[in-house]
């Protein structure tokens, strides 16, 4: 399925209660031939209003980390596990993830990225069934996944920025090594 088709499906989705409360769905953005895919948790308030991923405070942290890792955001596909904002930015529920994850799987299948960054525990758990970013970040799983901190975690603990940057560099290396 092409990315536009997946985005249209996300925009029309009413499979869980989040559909009724959203301003905009946030399917993700980036090129279809991206070599790197980044996956966050769920849209926040600014993403819900704009329909674009990582444009709020966490997005600024991500932009800075990408620049420090010498990665071009426009060449990366950026999305989240959940495509609609949970009220008050609460954690997505298990059943919401179950309803939404086929869209991410379709995006992975269409893009076929060489390297996938799972940002935060929700993404690591939903995709790989793994928990505990602090002990897992920076390692490569299944030859294409790298777990790292969610950029919002850096807003609370600035010292983690360095780890986020080094994990993004790892992702970049991985994407190049698989050429």
> Which 8-state DSSP code applies to residue 37?
E
Between residues 43 and 113, which has the closer beta carbon with respect to ligand URA?
43
CA angle 73/114/165 to nearest 5° reads 45
Give dist(CA 82, CA 96) in Å, integer.
7
User: Among 3, 13, 35, 47, which residue sits at the site for ligand URA (rule: CB under 6 A)?
Assistant: 47
User: Among 13, 29, 37, 40, which residue sits at the site for ligand URA (rule: CB under 6 A)?
Assistant: 40
Between residues 36 and 58, which has the closer beta carbon with respect to ligand URA?
58
Secondary element (H or E) of residue 36: strand 36-40
- Among the listed ranges 47-55, 68-76, 100-108, 125-133, the one in contact with ligand URA (CB under 6 A) is 47-55
Any contact of residue 116 with ligand URA (CB under 6 A)? no
Between residues 45 and 70, which has the closer beta carbon with respect to ligand URA?
45
**Tokens for 24?**
């905009």
Contact 92, 125 (CB under 8 A): no
């Amino acid at each position: 399925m092409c990315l536009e088709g997946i985005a249209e499906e996300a925009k029309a989705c009413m499979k869980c209660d989040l559909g009724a409360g959203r301003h905009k769905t946030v399917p993700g953005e980036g090129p279809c031939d991206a070599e790197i895919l980044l996956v966050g948790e769920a849209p926040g308030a600014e993403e819900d209003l704009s329909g674009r991923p990582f444009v709020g405070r966490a997005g600024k942290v991500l932009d800075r980390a990408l620049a420090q890792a010498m990665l071009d955001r426009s060449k990366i596909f950026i999305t989240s596990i959940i495509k609609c904002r949970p009220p008050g930015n609460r954690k997505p529920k298990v059943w919401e993830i179950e309803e939404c994850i086929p869209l991410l799987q379709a995006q992975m299948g269409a893009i076929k990225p060489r390297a996938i960054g799972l940002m935060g525990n929700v993404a690591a758990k939903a995709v790989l069934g793994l928990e505990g970013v602090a002990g897992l970040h920076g390692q490569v799983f299944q030859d294409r996944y790298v777990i790292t901190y969610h950029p919002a975690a850096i807003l609370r603990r600035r010292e983690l920025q360095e780890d986020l940057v080094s994990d993004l560099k790892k992702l970049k290396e991985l994407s190049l090594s698989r050429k």
